Amino acid sequence: MSINMATKEYPYLLTREQASDFLGIDPKSFDKYIRPHEELDRFMIGKRERYTMKSLIHFIEKHSV
């Protein structure tokens, strides 16, 4: 997947909703299957988590079956 293609539509740090939209899944599925993993890199702004497209792509590629 090309990150350059998607960067025009999203900010650098993605919210939970933007991250799930970027991955094409429901936010509840993101919370259940992806967000709990310690291996998913996240950036904290106060108490709120933010994600980069690069970290999401890396996580998905690493955990693909």
| CA pair distance 18, 53, nearest whole angstrom | 10
Residue 5 lies in a domain: no
59: containing domain: 13-63
The predicted model scores a pTM of 0.83
pLDDT of residue 9: 84
Residue 33 lies in a domain: yes
Residue 1 lies in a domain: no
Helix (H) or strand (E) holding 4: helix 3-6
The tally of domains found in the chain comes to: 1
Residue 51 lies in a domain: yes
DSSP 8-state code for residue 51: B
The dihedral through the CA atoms of 14, 63, 26, 36 has a sign that is negative
pLDDT of residue 54: 96
Q: pLDDT tens digits, residue range 7-61? A: 568 999 999 999 999 999 999 999 999 999 999 999 999 999 999 999 999 999 9
Helix (H) or strand (E) holding 16: helix 16-23
Residue 48, beta-bridge partner list: 45
pLDDT reading at 5 higher than 90: no
